Copies of this chain bind each other. A is one copy, B any other.
Amino acid sequence: MSSSFGTIFRVTTFGESHGGAVGAVVDGCPPLLALTEADVQPQLDRRRPGQSALTTPRGEADAVRILSGTENGLTLGTPIALVVANRDTKPGDYAEMSNVPRPSHADFTYQMKYGVRANSGGGRSSARETIGRVAAGAIAEKWLRLKAGIDIVAWVSSVGVVEAPDLIGAGLTRAAVDVNAVRCPDAAAAKLMETEILAARDAKDSVGGIITCVCRGVMPGWGEPVFHKLEAMLAQAMLSLPATKGFELGSGFAGTRLRGSVHNDPFVQKSNGLGTKTNYSGGIQGGISNGEPIVFRVAFKPPATISQPQQTADFDGQPTTLEAKGRHDPCVVPRAVPIVEAMAALVLADAALLQQARS
């Protein structure tokens, strides 16, 4: 069950990085939603490798095919199977690593857990696994947009030590985010970030970063206390992504330094009902959406795969030097933007349907 997520709107992903295909089955999508591959492909294209000089050169069209669950361009309410073939697989690149677990990658832990691991490219722990999530998330997102006018936009808010200014209230669109390859809508910061990423790449190194995500238009009442509070599900969703190390909602870690009298969000009358004057809460109170924008940040570590030689040990404990040959991104955050959006959409769609059940 560990490859499934969600209670009503439920996605199950499958696929290794160098196997036949990757994909997902979406169960519980409401019927009569207009849906074709064209609704899903754009987010896959934003996630695709080889988009720019900042990303891995692996060449994958990542064209999705819907195998079930729709007829005449409408969902039937039945499971939607989504498949993307793997094409540019180069198993040979990984051959020499077979007895050397790559530092901070999942080779060692998969071997310890399963007693076996995919020989090539990380298998299931590869970022390629997220294709199924992005495809499923695109469906959730379309439903949220049409059903409830919800708008989810994520962007790169830091790369290494370069931080963009606060853009949470800027009403950003995806077009504004995609204006540069790094997916940071602040031009000056984006320029510095790009420099940082290219510097890491040229140093055969990698660099981390942070993605900020805002979900606008979420009505009050979504989220299921106590264990399925909305922020708890977002946290699970984000920490289930490869390379993530942290999640914070609203004021997050910085908020711990404030006094309650500052941090509390007083209520004020707004055009569409009761709202809050500030939004330290990040749009969620007591685990339930309050109608304000949901704001969260996700930390991504510097990718574990780097081209420079690393002193480490092999599975037998013998010291060795490892030099990676696989293709990889020097920084994952530009491509992770649609992945974060997809997971947010999956969490929200499920929360919406669960709340609909209560009446």
Contact = CB atoms under 8 A, between A and B. Distances in A.
Contact of A76 (B2, B108, B117, B239): B117
Interface stretch (A41-49, A51-59, A175-183, A242-250): A242-250
Contacts of A259: 160, 200, 203, 205-207, 302
B30 A359 contact: yes
Contacts of A137: none
A234 B238 CA distance: 12
A232 B4 CA distance: 13
Interface in A1-56: 1-8, 10, 12-16, 19-23, 25, 27-28, 30-32
A81 B14 contact: yes
Contacts of A285: 104-106, 108-109
A14 B68 contact: yes
Q: Count copies of this chain in the complex.
A: 4
Contacts of A297: 253
Given A263-B208, A267-B108, A14 B69 contact: yes
A105 B109 CA distance: 41
A116 B32 CA distance: 7
Contacts of A257: 158, 160-161, 208
A293 B248 CA distance: 22
A64 to B, nearest CB: 12
Contact of A256 (B67, B208, B236): B208
B205 A109 contact: no
B250 A315 contact: no
Given A14-B80, A356-B359, 6 more contacts: A2-B225, A7-B7, A226-B240, A245-B282, A260-B306, A264-B304
18 contacts: A3-B25, A14-B67, A14-B80, A25-B25, A71-B118, A106-B225, A108-B285, A112-B290, A113-B288, A160-B256, A245-B253, A246-B248, A259-B302, A266-B310, A266-B312, A266-B313, A353-B358, A357-B357
